[in-house]
Structure 1
Amino acid sequence: MKGTSTDERTLHDWFAASVAAHGDQPALEVAGERLTYAELNATAARLAARVVASHGSPPARVGLLAARSVTAYAGYLAVQRLGATVVPLGPSFPLARNAAVAEGAGLDLVIADAKAPAEADALPVPVLRADASAEGPLRSGPVPEPHGLAAGPDDLAYILFTSGSTGRPKGVPVAHRNVAAYLGHVIPRYQLGPGARVSQTFDLTFDPSVYDMFAAWGSGAALVVPSAADLMSPVRFVNRTGITHWNSVPSVISIARRLRGLAADSMPSLRWSLFCGEALTLDNAGAWRAAAPDSVLENIYGPTEMTVTWTEFRLPRYPSDWPSPANGTVPIGRPYPDQEHLVLGEDGRPAEDGELCVRGTQRFPGYLDPAENAGRFYAYDPAGDAPATAYDGTEPLTDRHWYRTGDRVTRLDGELVHLGRIDHQLKIRGYRVELGEIESVLRQRPGVTEAVVLAVRGPDGELGLEAVVCADVPLDTGPLLAAVGERLPRYMVPRGVAVRDELPLNANGKVDRAALTASLTGATV
């Protein structure tokens, strides 16, 4: 069993090493400002001192209500400098959501930047508004000595909150040791170091932002932050800023294609392209490959509970050599070193098609609320004959337990292929249906650029399938459904198709299925 990483560096250790080695190199470019490693470190140190002064002592857990500003990144580093745990909040989230996170995480205070909404002052913890812009007081003056206690490898680096089945956010704590195992793999794999320029497309509430920040800052690279408008024109952003390492959700490709902004050979200098967070279709991968022909293209996957990303699949240089899974998506590949996985069927035994269960040096220590652990882990001995049994919370959670991802996978030539969420696999009139298979058939029709299939209850209460598509030509839905019927059984053909100019995205850039379902049923999200 591979359970605990021997790398004991904390997030602050990774950054501090780059400050010492590359102090005069660019560390951050955001909102028209550029800071070297020395300047960013000094700003973070001054902000850390303000946090201690505001709280009266070094805090244990600090919220961060900031985005795409110097304050956001200096704030993240300030919390790490204090040996505390950072808990990102969403500036665009409703007050009630951020308040629930603040209470659930047990925050001591919240750092907010100048763009944070006025309602933030109504949060149930003190709010420290800080300005780390060039004209602000945090950008000049002496650099304070470190405050607080240095974090250890088993202390929590950050806590992220995901949607919980109970209707309240669920806290996912990740230890420094988990992140060290992750960074120790991805930094050399992607040849990061001084001179590299890394995009930062993800909100801080979404864990791929940890890759953006600390794969860059742990290697001496520059973190380059696009504006919201830049995300609509990735080619222009990449070329204007000299990005060498791109990382985003695949939806960015869809948006760029819809806006006719992804021409062939339009990003000749891009070296690395990573996509995660949702399924990367072969069609979208091909469009990006054509636009960045000299870039290494990888599909990466991982639940928040396994520390950012956890598997990798590098597409061959030539599309003619690419695999062709039945659902039209790029495989998620194989686990990183020192990680283990099982594919378990409904009977709790190994299967070729089933739920992906994982453990290893990147596995989180368990949910912030221990009651959430029940049912989300398995006890299973690969060397034994007994089936997996669900963890019920009556015994200590250990490294030996397997985390249940809730993702359904199969294998193709030894590579894992993501088939969707277990809860996206449903039965229609007694038949098992995988929504991703229907979506793939729809996307293959001429003119269809995006497709989502939803299970929606009709007026009669019966569960049925509805499709939502985007198209780059006028679309007659009758012939479209007829064509789908030529490929799939009748029970897999949607009863209706809605054509939209674009698909709604949630705060993390993923397709918002709940909003789509509500738009079809007239319900509220």
Structure 2
Amino acid sequence: MSDPQTVYGWFERSATAFGDDCTALEVGEEQLTYRQLRELAERIATRLVAFNGGVAPRRVGLLASRSVTAYAGYLAVLRTGAAVVPLNPEHPPARTARIAETAGLELVLADPSAADADPGVPLLVLGPGEPPPSAAGAPGGPPDGLPDPKTRPDDIAYIIFTSGSTGAPKGVPVSQANLCSYLGHVASRYGIGPGSRLSQTFDLTFDGSVHDLFVAWASGGTLVVPKRSQLLSPVRTINALRLTHWFSVPSLIAFASRLGTLEPGSMPTLRWSVFGGEPLTLAAAAEWQTAAPDSALEVLYGPTELTISCTAYRLPRHRADWPRTANGTVPIGTGYPTLDILLLDDDGRPSEAGELYVRGPQRFPGYLDPANNAGRFLPSGGGAAAAADSADLPLTEKHWYRTGDRAAMHDGHLVHLGRTDHQVKIRGHRIELGEIEATLREQPGVRDAVVLAVQASDGEPELEAAVSGTGCVDQRLYSALSERLPPYMLPRRIVTLEELPLNANGKIDRHALLARLGSSR
């Protein structure tokens, strides 16, 4: 059977195949079969069209979180042919309104938790049980008033807003073709079928959530949505919800470790464990594998601009076969077969280590604001300097996306070295911050570590470190570092925190940490 050509088509194929035989969505006590979820999505889609004056909208905001409305609403927006623009109800109203304006939203769909929101465009709030079932329309067919969306491959499926360097949210549109290409590679990767129970740990404003939704729904799996509070106790949540597939940021391993719940064999239901969004240390991977010995463990890497993930690495089952990397992280693997991968050194020449560039059918069509494209793309055959301007825009399929991530080849697999701005020069010495972090994480009692370059009183950059863990003694850490690293790589100070600050997506928040270090001087 050929793959569907639209994102909604992936879900619709499963809804036709599994009907009432399989549960598609589980949110708390609420469960919907594939037939019920499709019917609800189509009823909501009908409401959206009617609310928009009888015309199918072009872009719809989704201001909802961890509710049936959120997930059925996501499908409903796609069913109308519009692009989904996820909005977080916990974000400041001013940010939500700014995104609504930037994205050109015609309306916003919300659940009752956001009933008082004012996004600056018409707001459609759906309460429990709304819209009600309707007998209108042909049996088994869409309700009356719901037109054929006539979705095309180059239509936008969703828009994710990331933090921009100027402080303004930066819109990343991902096309139907981008996401369908991604699903064509990953949907069959994890052995999902009826009876599979997949976690939904990510907020809808983070593109990892798109993986959860459509990898589950492409093959008859059940999307299981934990409460936000449950995410802080991963082991207990996995067992309580009988999850077979887990996908999260690696920092949730630290939560489980701190609770002391990663005991051998403590997650017997897990068959697949996938981590992404930030580097996974080999030490954390070992802790998780001990607790879930029957689970395959895989790392995904990819910026939002390359549609969720573009490389993958699956750790061997036997620990003795695991790789050893200089920075202590699990490799990010190899590129997907439909993508081209390129490493360029500081002089713009192909190299075994350097900045990572990617092109192919998953590469997004360019930022919502074309001004953000400058410096982010490399024309075919151009050197790294050619990415600094946008003279050869508009973009073509030959353009490489400049990820801003540094990587190196290690035994045929890519190892993530950090962001290009995480390689710093201190008094003439070029330093990889990840190397210092890896050395700190190897010390007894240290759970995680971050090293930052901060401005000293003389205006020159200097290194400071923050660690989390128990029993961390600054002098002992300094001694351990001095035995392994040259003097110019030693942090001026090491601060011990109960836990490192995280952003809304569960990643370490370096900006918040920098502010915290500054206030403690």
TM-score by length of 1: 0.94
CA contact (8 A) 2:109 2:123 kept: yes
Q: Indicate if the aligned counterparts of 2:4 and 2:10 stay in contact, CA closer than 8 A.
A: no
1:153-198 deviation per Cα after TM superposition (whole angstroms, max 9, x unaligned): 1111001111112221111111111111111111111112222111
Residue 312 of structure 1: how far off its partner (Å): 0.6
1:128 equivalenced with 2:124 (yes/no) = yes
Give the aligned partner of residue 360 of structure 1.
360
| Unmatched runs of 5 consecutive residues or more in structure 2 | 137-142
Q: SS in structure 2 opposite 1:313?
A: strand
State the partner residue of 1:3. none
Q: Deviation per CA, 1:216-267, whole angstroms, max 9, x where unpaired?
A: 1111111001111211111122122221111000001011101112111101
Instruction: Determine if the alignment matches structure 1 residue 477 to structure 2 residue 470.
Output: no
Give the one of 68, 91, 94 matched to 1:93.
Answer: 91
What is the aligned partner in structure 2 of residue 142 from structure 1? 135
- 2-side partners of 1:362 and 1:387: how far apart? 21
Quote the Cα distance in structure 2 between the aligned partners of 1:43 and 1:401. 40
8 A Cα contact 1:10 1:151, kept in partner? yes
Please say if 1:451 is aligned against 2:449: yes
CA–CA distance in structure 2, aligned partners of residues 294 and 487 of structure 1: 36
Q: What do you get for the CA RMSD once the two structures are aligned? A: 1.6
Write the mapping of 1:99-498 to structure 2, written as runs, cut at 5 A. 99-116=97-114, 118=116, 120-121=117-118, 123-131=119-127, 133=128, 136-142=129-135, 144-145=143-144, 146-147=146-147, 149-381=149-381, 389-390=386-387, 392-472=390-470, 474-498=471-495
Structure 2 counterpart of 1:50? 47
Residue 388 of structure 1, CA deviation: 6.6
Q: In 2, distance between residues paired with 1:521 and 1:456?
A: 9
Tell me which residue corresponds to 1:16.
Answer: 12
Cα separation, 2, equivalents of 1:405 and 1:314: 22
**TM-superposed deviation, 1:117:** 6.5
How many angstroms does 1:376 deviate by? Answer: 0.4
Identical positions, percent: 58
Counterparts of 2:393 and 2:48, CA distance in 1: 38
Distance 2:504 2:38 in 1: 29
Asked if 2 retains the 8 angstrom alpha-carbon contact of 1:109 and 1:128, the reply is yes
How far apart in 2 are the matches of 1:98 and 1:460?
A: 40
Residue identity in the other structure for 2:516: S
User: 1:147: Cα distance to partner?
Assistant: 3.1
Cα deviation for residue 33 of structure 1 reads 0.8
Aligned equivalents of 1:287, 1:395: Cα separation in 2: 47
Deviation at 1:387, TM superposition (A): 6.8
- Residues 34-67 of structure 1 deviation map (CA, whole Å, 9 limit, x = unaligned): 1111111111112112212222121100000111
Identify which of 501, 518, 521 aligns with 1:521.
518
In 2, distance between residues paired with 1:88 and 1:52? Answer: 18
Alignment check: 8 A CA contact 1:7 1:181 kept: no
Whole-Å Cα distance in 2 between the matches of residues 325 and 27 of structure 1? 40
Counterpart CA distance in 2 for 1:113 and 1:515 is: 30
User: 2:344·2:384 contact (CA, 8 Å) conserved in 1?
Assistant: no
For 1:346, what is the secondary structure of its paired residue?
coil
Distance 2:476 2:373 in 1: 48
* Counterpart secondary structure, 2:187: helix
CA distances 1:430-470 after superposition (whole Å, capped 9, x unpaired): 11111111110000001101111111123333311111111
The alpha-carbon distance between structure 1 residues 277 and 199, as it changes in their structure 2 partners (threshold 3 A), is same
Cα distance in 1, alignment partners of residues 385 and 166 from structure 2: 25
1:6-46 CA-partner distances (Å, limit 9, x unpaired): 96611111111111111111000013211111111111112
Counterpart residue number, 2:37: 40
Letter paired with 2:45 = A
What is the one-letter code of the residue matched to 1:303? P
Alpha-carbon distance in 1 for matches of 2:104, 2:168: 15
Q: Structure 1 128/176 Cα, relative in aligned 2: closer, same or farther at 3 Å? A: same
- Tell me how far apart the structure 1 counterparts of residues 207 and 156 of structure 2 sit (CA, whole Å): 14
Deviations 1:331-383 (A, max 9, x none): 0000111111100011111011110000011111111111211210111339x
Whole-Å separation in 2 of the counterparts to 1:142 and 1:441: 65
- Structure 1 residue 499 displacement after superposition: 1.0
Higher mean Cα deviation, 35-44 or 331-340? 35-44
User: Taking structure 1 as reference, are residues 8 and 127 closer, same or farther at Cα in structure 2, changes over 3 Å only?
Assistant: same
Q: For residues 253-293 of structure 1, what are the alpha-carbon distances to aligned partners after superposition, in whole Å with 9 as ceiling and x for unaligned?
A: 01110111211110122111100000100000000100100
| Rounded Cα–Cα distance in structure 2 between residues aligned with 1:124 and 1:393 | 35
CA distance in 1, matches of 2:135, 2:176: 29
> Counterpart of 1:62?
60
Cα drift, residue 148 of structure 1: 5.5
Matched, 1:511 2:508: yes
Measure how far apart 1:520 and its partner are.
1.2
User: For 1:440, what is the secondary structure of its paired residue?
Assistant: helix
Residue 503 of structure 1 deviates from its aligned partner by: 1.4
* Higher-RCO chain (CA-CA 8 Å, sequence separation at least 6): 1
Gap change, CA 1:117 and 1:49, over 3 Å in 2? closer
Structure 1 runs not aligned, ≥5 long? 1-5
